[in-house]
């Protein structure tokens, strides 16, 4: 039974400094499932002290020791995949098969890819008479979101361990159980005490205390751009490193020589995956103006087959969004799209047909959307796609880059050469051509207001390393 009323600090389950709890609500039923303890600055102080003590020894461990530790974590993680999937499904609404395979699977994938990077990474490099040594940054504060909980936890914790850092994790208060299971996994795998610490809590309490804490050397934050700005401001007084992966409003350019049926259907399905709750979701489909009606019809056919329903029911495509706040925000933006004159192709406001409770959103598509409309600019974070027309390739690129965000971009074309040409022009950290998914060992992160750090693979490991130049090391 997962212990939700304690925190994991210094290798043990401990009571919070102040007894305080909040309910965790199942978004499919709108009912509270259980309570979790929430922390305070005193808990952060305790966790930081443990992490600083542990850093003295863990930072000096060998590559071989950290390889063996990650291998053990992976072995234990594999035994808890179903537990993780069930927790994610209950707490944020992902359909159970998707939660077990994709949500839990994403965490396993990052652990495995980090292990492979660690095995061959060069921590020392000779440059002239100097040697450049890559050393662990120190104590890391990690703040993770609810939409892909294990993906974000694992792609921070795994490289931090690989680098020799110690850490304090504050997972989202909406998805605490999967994070607590992750703590159980690390404990069973024999992670030394103080290396990994977990405190559940709220952003204004635990998040603020971590961002401002002089004993934390780096903050790794994934979440909204608004919250990321606040974290960076609070971290500035202690000049700690801040690595951020923030929001997005990602363009999906479908060129006139693309296979429309394949590209449009794939783009819509990708947008609706995880109920549209992905920071890199292809939320703006930019298509040839002359073909917009044809493309809208293809998109509508996909939306009509997308079933929003009980995450544990067979045949469910997408579950609810995470909570009432998100549901209300999405409903307001759908109505805004209608009010501002976009063409409603599928879905719309209100609950899906046959549903009378739960935070379900109708799979919604707007067409004839222009760049001045709210739904073309704001990150909706729900199953809502906007289709925008462009007269030619140049205008499509211009529309794609006309956003303060720059996390991802997508291009479909008749030839890979043309897709490459357009993809190079998109101002984003990740660009996918002709439906090819992300490469887990390539960097993930954003331009502009989508963030300033990189995760995954070698690039993720290097976020947790400092470069030290020792001149004269190689002198004759």
**Which CATH number does the domain housing residue 292 bear?**
3.40.309.10
275 & 423 share domain: yes
The answer to whether residue 279 is catalytic is yes
The residue annotated as part of the active site, out of 91, 100, 245, 379, is: 245
241 & 278 share domain: no
**Token code pair at residue 292:** 């917009």
Say how many domains are in the chain.
Answer: 2
**Token code pair at residue 122:** 């060069």
331 & 225 share domain: no
Nearest to 185 by CA among 99, 89, 84, 38: 84
Tell me whether residue 1 is in a domain.
no
462 & 347 share domain: no
CA 235 from centroid of its chain's CA atoms: 21
324 & 428 share domain: yes
Three-state DSSP class for 153? Answer: helix
Which range marks the domain in which residue 413 is found?
251-433
Residue 1 pLDDT: 67
Contacts of 352-357 with C-beta under 8 Å, sequence gap 24+, read 352/308, 352/309, 355/308, 355/309, 357/29, 357/30
Three-state DSSP class for 203? Answer: helix
- Cross-strand pairs, 24: 34
207 & 255 share domain: no
Element holding 412 (H helix, E strand): strand 408-412
The residue annotated as part of the active site, out of 91, 100, 155, 279, is: 279
Residue 345 pLDDT: 98
273 & 403 share domain: yes
**Contact 312/137 with Cβ under 8 angstroms?**
no
**Contact 453/228 with Cβ under 8 angstroms?**
no
**Contact 22/16 with Cβ under 8 angstroms?**
no
Tell me whether residue 440 is in a domain.
no
223 & 282 share domain: no
**Contact 352/320 with Cβ under 8 angstroms?**
no
Spatial distance between the Cα atoms of 300 and 347, rounded to a whole number of angstroms? 9
Across the chain, which has 476 residues, the per-10-residue mean pLDDT values are 91 97 98 97 98 98 98 98 98 98 98 98 96 98 98 98 98 98 98 98 97 98 96 98 97 98 98 98 98 98 96 96 98 98 98 94 98 98 98 98 98 98 98 96 97 96 98 87
| Whole-number Cα distances in Å, 289 to 281, 338, 390, 393 | 22, 20, 5, 11
172 & 269 share domain: no
Tell me whether residue 2 is in a domain.
no
Nearest to 22 by CA among 35, 5, 33: 35
CATH number, position 210: 3.40.605.10
């Amino acid at each position: 039974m997962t212990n939700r009323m304690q925190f994991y600090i210094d290798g043990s389950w401990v009571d919070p400094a102040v007894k305080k709890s909040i309910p965790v609500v199942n978004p499919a039923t709108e009912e509270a499932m259980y309570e979790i303890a929430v922390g305070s600055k005193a808990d952060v102080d305790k966790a930081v002290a443990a992490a600083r003590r542990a850093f003295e020894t863990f930072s000096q461990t060998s590559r071989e020791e950290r390889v063996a530790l990650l291998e053990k974590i992976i072995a234990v993680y594999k035994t808890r995949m179903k537990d993780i999937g069930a927790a994610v499904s209950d707490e944020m609404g992902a359909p159970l098969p998707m939660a077990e395979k994709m949500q839990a699977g994403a965490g396993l994938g990052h652990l495995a890819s980090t292990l492979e990077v660690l095995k061959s990474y060069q921590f020392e490099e000779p440059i002239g008479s100097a040697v450049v040594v890559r050393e662990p940054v120190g104590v890391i504060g990690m703040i993770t979101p609810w939409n892909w909980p294990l993906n974000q936890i694992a792609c921070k914790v795994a490289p931090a361990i690989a680098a020799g850092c110690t850490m304090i994790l504050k997972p989202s208060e909406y998805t605490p159980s999967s994070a607590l299971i992750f703590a159980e996994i690390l404990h069973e795998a024999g992670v030394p005490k103080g290396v990994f610490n977990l405190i559940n809590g709220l952003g204004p309490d635990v998040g603020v205390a971590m961002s401002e804490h002089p004993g934390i050397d780096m903050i790794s934050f994934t979440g909204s751009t608004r919250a990321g700005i606040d974290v960076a401001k609070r971290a500035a007084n202690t000049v700690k490193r801040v690595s951020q992966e923030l929001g997005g409003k990602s363009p999906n350019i479908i060129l006139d020589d693309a296979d429309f049926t394949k590209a449009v259907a794939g783009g819509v399905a990708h947008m609706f995956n995880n109920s549209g709750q992905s920071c890199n979701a292809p939320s703006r489909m930019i298509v040839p103006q002359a073909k917009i009606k044809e493309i809208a019809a293809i998109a509508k056919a996909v939306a009509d087959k997308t079933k929003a329903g009980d995450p544990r029911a067979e045949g469910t495509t997408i579950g609810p969004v995470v909570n009432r706040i998100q549901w209300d925000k999405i409903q307001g933006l759908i109505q805004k799209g209608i009010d501002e004159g976009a063409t409603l192709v599928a879905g719309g406001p209100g609950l899906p047909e046959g549903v009378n409770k739960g935070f379900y959103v109708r799979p919604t598509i707007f067409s004839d959307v222009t760049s001045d409309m709210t739904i073309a600019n704001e990150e909706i974070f729900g199953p809502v796609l906007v289709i925008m027309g462009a007269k030619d390739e140049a205008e499509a690129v211009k529309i794609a880059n006309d956003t303060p965000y720059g996390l991802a971009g997508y291009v479909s074309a008749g030839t890979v050469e043309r897709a490459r040409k357009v993809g190079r022009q998109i101002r984003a950290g990740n660009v996918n051509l002709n439906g090819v998914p992300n490469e887990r060992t390539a960097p993930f992160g954003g331009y502009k207001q989508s963030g300033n750090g990189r995760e995954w693979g070698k690039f993720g490991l290097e976020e947790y390393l400092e470069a030290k130049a020792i001149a004269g090391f190689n002198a004759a």
